[in-house]
Structure 1
Amino acid sequence: MKTNRERILMIGAGAIAFFYCGDWAYQSFVATPLQSRQDRIDRLTSDVESREAELRRSRRAIDSLSVWQAKSLPSDSLRARSIYQNWLLEVVGRVGLVGCTVDSADPVRRQGDLQAISFSVRGRGTLKQLAKLLYEFYRANHLHQIQSLTVTPLVGQGTLDLSLAVEALIVPGAEPKEALDRNPDPQWMSVRLADYDAIVRRDLFGIGGGDTDTIDDVFLTAVTDDGRKRQAWFTLRAQGKTLRLGKGESIAVGDFQGRVVDIDAADVVIEAQGERWLMSLGENLAGAAAVPPES
């Protein structure tokens, strides 16, 4: 009886030992290698996915870089500074701001070998002209932005004193182009100047948008001479436009009807109702001085 019991215990102990040994062998030679292999596959799969994502980001960055290079100022910083400053002068002239100055600073290095050139724009104009300036600026296909805009209402004049800080970029690898892109930014193709009328209608500064000019709003802003013909540039601030008139051409503002009879380097003589009036650069029509009749 005792012998049978011992035999049963030995068989049970052997079975338990066999089970544990078998489990150890399975874990050591089957399960663990399989798990290690699966872990390695998972790591490799994750690594491949990470590299593919990095490759996609690199491709997008290359595409973005190409777009930025196309919008960039020319690679020559001196050339870039000059033509962008001229572009700003052209824009403020087209908008009709008065007393404008555009200054620039030396290029500075930024992260990634970018070069940034800062510009400052000062001038006076109506709210409608400010809206047009913003429209012209943002639809331009250049790599630039307005860093700050300071607007000060001029009490009793219905105009604003404007000060803008602008920054434009030169991207590494940009083309050495001779002129800026004249085409609008594709992202702004659907934007119209009329969309900015909401700014004027809200009259944020309480000066009125000004759609009708009077002789107080007409300024002589420039005299040009191309060697063949002189022109006087009259800025109509309320309408935000500029009249470019030669000798003998008429000017009509509100109830005023006149004709340009003489253009000097810095003065213009206008004849109206048999009298002659002298306007100098920077002056408005209301401040024109009467010219004594010739004896």
Structure 2
Amino acid sequence: MNRRTLLLLIGAIAVGGIYFADQAYRTWYEQPLDRLESRLDGLRLRERRAGTTQAEARRDVRRLDAYAAMSLPFDLEKAQSGYQAWLLSLVAEHQMTQAAVDPGQARGVEVRNRTRRGTRQVATRLPFTLRAKTDLVRLTAFLADFEQAGHLHKITSLAINPIGSGTEIDLTLSIEALSIGACEREADLSTLTWNRNVSPPESFAILARRNPFARGFSKALTDTRLTAITYGSDGEAEGWFRVGDESRTRSARSGQSLELDLVRVEVIDILPERLLVRIDGQTAWLSIGGSLDQALATETP
């Protein structure tokens, strides 16, 4: 074997050794290390998920405690009769007439079980139907008190049918209350209150006072006119209004209000020939001889 052949053989052996050494390095070190890192990543992901699940579980426990404090009692028969009595007392408080509260068929609420297969029941829905006759003012107050009550309940549907001239309405409410199994009370309703209303009750007074169901609202605006502006012995100006077919006129000074059946007129300022008034929240100028509907049709400068 000459020198050149020997060198080529040594080179080939060296290349083969390097190749097999690289394969051994990959097989016995890199690949096991990659598998180990992959398993570690999986364990870290499981740990994060477990931490998230634990945080969610703690949050759910806090929520469940809060809901249980407002839940109807766990005894369904006592919960149904107690809530029915509470609704009737609220109806009586707001002077609704011909009222009736009918309970419906209870239905279970199930959730997926985290530890076992299948579902488990955590609460029971108790439906009720309320029927009564009332007006918008009383209904508005009733709904405000219903919303503030510390019970797990909600109105699922509301039907209003005007009766006669529309000053009275026939009301039908579908209500659903919730009884949670974690509730510790057997028979007593919650005495908590829940301030969920983002708007003050006064913001709904205009709607109740205007009553879109009542007949004759436009006529009330047309038939109310400013007849004169006079000054009393104390120098204070006052506006005089003729209202519909009334034989007498009504007067109001600046800062006072004129309460009509379907509308409220607030006198803001009095000038020699006109008044600045607020009609159910809308500001307008009312001239002598002009009616409320004419004032509303004219933009306030």
TM category, shorter:
0.5 to 0.7
Mapped partners of 1:207, 1:183: distance in 2 = 40
1:28-177 equivalent positions in 2, closer than 5 A:
28-111=27-110, 112-177=121-186
Preserved CA contact (<8 Å) 1:135 1:196? no
Preserved CA contact (<8 Å) 1:142 1:181? yes
Aligned residues between the structures: 208
1:6 and 2:30 are equivalent in the alignment: no
Preserved CA contact (<8 Å) 1:158 1:208? no
Mapped partners of 1:21, 1:199: distance in 2 = 89
2:184 aligns to what SS in structure 1? coil
Cross-structure match for 1:20? 19
Higher alpha-carbon deviation: 127-136 or 198-207: 198-207
2:2 aligns to what SS in structure 1? helix
Superposition deviation, residue 198 in structure 1: 5.7
Superposition deviation, residue 107 in structure 1: 2.9
Cross-structure match for 2:231? none
> Which blocks of at least 5 consecutive residues in structure 1 are unaligned?
210-253, 255-295
TM-score, normalised with respect to structure 1? 0.63
> Which blocks of at least 5 consecutive residues in structure 2 are unaligned?
111-120, 218-259, 261-301
Q: Deviations over 1:69-123 (max 9, x none)?
A: 1111112222111111111111122222222111113433332242222111011
Cross-structure match for 1:242? none
RMSD: 2.6
Cross-structure match for 1:194? 202
Cα distance change, pair 125–147 in 1 and its aligned pair in 2 (3 A): same
2:169 aligns to what SS in structure 1? strand
* Percent of pairs with identical residues: 28
TM-score, normalised with respect to structure 2? 0.62
Preserved CA contact (<8 Å) 1:127 1:208? no
Preserved CA contact (<8 Å) 1:153 1:207? no
Amino acid at match of 1:109: G
Superposition deviation, residue 22 in structure 1: 1.7
Preserved CA contact (<8 Å) 2:163 2:169? yes
Cα distance change, pair 21–103 in 1 and its aligned pair in 2 (3 A): same
Q: Deviations over 1:233-288 (max 9, x none)?
A: xxxxxxxxxxxxxxxxxxxxx9xxxxxxxxxxxxxxxxxxxxxxxxxxxxxxxxxx
Mapped partners of 1:27, 1:90: distance in 2 = 81
Superposition deviation, residue 127 in structure 1: 2.0
